[in-house]
Amino acid sequence: MKILVVNSGSSSLKYTLFDMADESILFSGEIERIGLDNGNHSFRSRQGEEKTLETRIRGHGQALDAMLETLAQESLSSLHEIVAVAHRVAHGGKYRDAVRISPEVMDEIRRMTPMIPLHHPPMIEEIEECESRMPHAVHVAVFDTWFHASIPDEAAIYGLPYRYFEQGYRRIGFHGHSHAYVCACAAKYLEQPIEALKMITCHLGNGASLCAIDGGRSIDTSLGMTALEGLIMGTRSGDVDPGLIPVIMNEESLSPDQMMNMLYRESGLKGLSGVSSDMRDVEAAAHHGDRRALLALDAFCYRVKRYIGAMLMVLGGCDVLVFAGGIGRNSGTVRRKILQGAEGLGFVLDENKSVTESAEDQPVLDVTGPGSRVRILAITTWEEIVMARQCLSVLKKGA
C-alpha cells in the first residue's frame, strides 16, 4: 500500500512516498525557499541516490508540478500506484482527527482560511490539484491542530467576552505532528516511559511554536487560534500588543487587509533584519556585522527563551528540552543564545557539541552539558510518518 504524504508549509513543500506494509520510504523530496530566488529541490530514492536541483519556484502550484513530475520520472510507473494521499492541513476548524476529504471538509478548511492566510491557500490549491490528477486515490486531510486537543480550557481561553469562547475562539495550536513525533522520539531515545516525562518541545523553523507536554499530552502551546501568536517567525510577527494594531492602522491609513499582510508577510525575521526571512541568511549577515540582522537573531532567541520560562512554570518542572525544525535542529548558534544564562534553572548546554555537530547526521543529537538537570536534545522531526499513520487509520476505518 503506497501512501503519498504532502506537507506544504508557508515556504516549503515536503513529500514522502511510503510503503505502509513496513513504513519504508520509497521516495522523498523537499522544495525549499519557495518564493525566493535561490530555491532548491532535493530528493532521495529508496536506494539512497540523492539529487539537488537549483530552481526558481514562485508558488506552491509550481512546486506541486515539480513534485509530481519527479515522482513520475524517478519512482513510479504510474500515479495510479498511489492508494492514498495524506494532505497536511493547518486548521481543521471543527475537525481534529484525520478525515477523508469531501466537499464538506473542504468548506470547513476554506472557512478557516482567515485564521491561516499564509498556509491554507497553497494547501487548498495543492489538495485540488492532487485530486484532479489522482482521482483514483483516497485523499485524507490530517490537521496540525489534533495534538493540542488536550489543552485545558484555562490555557485555551482568551480574555475576551465569554461568548467568543462559546463560539470556538480559543487557543488551537499548530505543528502538532512535529511536537508529537519529537516527544515520542525523545522518550524512546532516553528509554523512559513517555507518561513519566515533562517536556518542552521547540519547533523552530519559518513557522515556530513551543509546546508544554506532560505525560505525552499537550497542555499548552505558544501558537493560538491563528498562526500569528507567540514566537517571532520567518515573516510573521508573533506576539504584538493588540492595542498597537489600531494605532498603526490609523497613523498609516492601513486597511485590515494591509495590516494583516504586514503581520503575516512583512514582519518577523524579514521585517526586523531587512535581509531575509531565512535564519541561515540572517545568521550569516549577523556574523558579518549587520546590526539589524544581529538584532533580529537576538530578538528571535529572546522570545524563545521567554516562552521556555513560561512553559517551565506551566509544567512545574522539566525533564527534557527538545529543539526541532530547520532552525532548532541545525543552528547551534540559536540554541546557545536561547540557553545562555539558564544554567541556574537546570539547563546546561554542551556548547562545543551543539555548535560542531549537526543533528542532520543523526536523528537525535544529545547536546546536554555536564551538570545539567534537564536533558537537551536536537531531534530531526518526522511529521510525515505521523501523517501517514493517521491516513492509514482512516483507510482502515473506511471513513
How buried is 131 (Cβ within 10 angstroms: 0-12 exposed, 13-18 middle, 19+ buried)? middle
The cell 517536556 sits on which residue?
199
Residue 261: which residues within 8 A CB-CB, separation 6 or more?
none
The cell 500506484 sits on which residue?
81
Closest CA to 377 of 308, 320, 314, 298: 320
Is residue 214 annotated as part of the catalytic site, yes or no? no
The answer to whether residues 89 and 111 touch, using CB atoms and an 8 Å cutoff, is no
Q: Provide the 3-class DSSP secondary structure of residue 37.
A: coil
Catalytic residue among 22, 65, 97, 144: 144
| CA angle (280, 282, 288) in 5-degree steps | 105
Residue 10: which residues within 8 A CB-CB, separation 6 or more?
118, 119, 122, 206, 207, 234, 235
C-alpha to C-alpha distance for 172 and 92, rounded to whole angstroms: 10
Catalytic sites, residue numbers: 144
